[in-house]
Amino acid sequence: MNLNASLEKSLAGRWIAGYYPEDALERTKLFNSKHISTIINFLGEDIQERKKISNTVKTYIWIIKEIKNRRLKAGLSVKPTQLGLNISYNLMYSNYLKIVRQAKKSGVFVWFDMEGAKNVDSTIKAYKRAMHNGNTGICIQAYLKRSEKDAESLLRSHAIIRLVKGAYKADPELSFKSKRDINRNYLRIMRELFYKSKRFMIATHDSRIIEEAIKLNRKYKRNVIFAMLNGIRNKYALYLSKSGQKVMVYVPFGEEWFSYGVRRIAEQGHLSLIIRSLFEKQEL
């Protein structure tokens, strides 16, 4: 077996639910049996072909309906560039709104993902326009230097924020590079969420940050959900759930697994966790 085939087998079994929407729904059913919800993502970004964009939107609409039909506890995560941002802002926004409105009918929450630094303004603009049309939240990445101000602006609009560290590359003038600086910014933004927001998501595998969030929540009593990536710290996610915390796991599926895997490996602080996850016996 060559290296790519070996990596693909490991990823498919650990991080990626599989190639098809049904795989993500089955993985969701398993997590739900352990009182953990999921965020389903159809892998793929920077899509240029209109037919592929249309098929992506149709896939998300089908998943929304199946989540309702099967009574699953799951939401979606969609990316601007898989909805057409590289072709035009209006195409992307139209597709995002279509998904959000369908999700509202089915009682499904939609997270609008943040991608590379060049797309931040368009993503925030689209989210602020769409947020009153259904249940939708936006991702903020702590590795970007602008994110603290972006979070403040979004909170004034009563946005629902999912705070992550970030896994995209950006120039040094735009981004923090060291794990220490990224963590420091993450904590700054997280504290602002506790001060100013009633509902948000803390998406990290960092136990120290999660413990700090739990401590803050004893004081502020917010609606906080902890989120992790499928296959990275499933045991810890299960522990948090059993401890009474609200937990969701990000469950990607699709054929575009390679770029997703490479980006996660490159993310600050992830490499040791990823290596450990490949050899760790999974309970889920």
Is 135 among the domain residues?
Answer: yes
Q: Quick one: three-class SS letters along the chain?
A: CCHHHHHHHHHHHHCCCCCCHHHHHHHHHHHHCCCCEEEEEECCCCCCCHHHHHHHHHHHHHHHHHHHHCCCCEEEEECHHHCCCCCCHHHHHHHHHHHHHHHHHHCCCEEECCCCHHHHHHHHHHHHHHHHHCCEEEEEECCECCHHHHHHHHHHCCCCEEEECCCCCCCCCCECCCHHHHHHHHHHHHHHHHHHCCEEEEECCCHHHHHHHHHHHHHHCCEEEEEEECCCCHHHHHHHHHCCCEEEEEEEECCCHHHHHHHHHHCCCCHHHHHHHHHCCCCC
Instruction: Give residue 1's pLDDT.
Output: 46
Domain containing 31 equals 3-279
Is 13 among the domain residues?
Answer: yes
Is 164 among the domain residues?
Answer: yes
Is 284 among the domain residues?
Answer: no
The tokens for 283 are: 């309970």
The per-residue pLDDT for range 5-34, each reduced to its tens digit, is 555 555 555 788 999 999 999 999 999 999
Entry field: residues in the chain: 284
Which ranges of the chain have pLDDT less than 70? 1-13, 257-284
Instruction: Give residue 2's pLDDT.
Output: 52
Question: What region does 63 belong to: left with phi over 0, alpha with psi -120 to 50, or beta?
Answer: alpha
Instruction: Give residue 84's pLDDT.
Output: 98
Instruction: Give residue 168's pLDDT.
Output: 86
Is 7 among the domain residues?
Answer: yes
Instruction: Give residue 256's pLDDT.
Output: 72
Is 152 among the domain residues?
Answer: yes
Is 64 among the domain residues?
Answer: yes
Instruction: Give residue 263's pLDDT.
Output: 55
The per-residue pLDDT for range 88-135, each reduced to its tens digit, is 999 999 999 999 999 999 999 999 999 999 999 999 999 999 999 989
- Whole-prediction pTM value? 0.89
68 touches 102 (CB < 8 A): no
Identify the CATH number of the domain in which residue 82 sits. Answer: 3.20.20.220
Is 241 among the domain residues?
Answer: yes
Domain count, the chain: 1
Please state, in angstroms and rounded to a whole number, the distance separating the CA atoms of residues 178 and 188. Answer: 16
